[in-house]
Amino acid sequence: MSNFIKSFVKDERGVTAIEYAIIAGLIAVALAASVGGVVTKLQTVFTAIVTAL
């Protein structure tokens, strides 16, 4: 049992996957935040175009 625990503590294969998941999550949050601002600006532009027509 102690050998299993020692090998489990030293195993680093899952750490890399977790790091990539955190990076992907941060990128997704950044994209969602930036898209929100773009959508608001696009609505304003299209409203101005419709009003002008």
Gap between the Cα atoms of 52 and 45, Å rounded:
11
Gap between the Cα atoms of 13 and 17, Å rounded:
7
Nearest to 45 by CA among 31, 12, 37: 37
The whole-model pTM stands at 0.52
> Residues of the chain with pLDDT > 90: what percent?
34
Statement: residue 32 has pLDDT above 80: yes
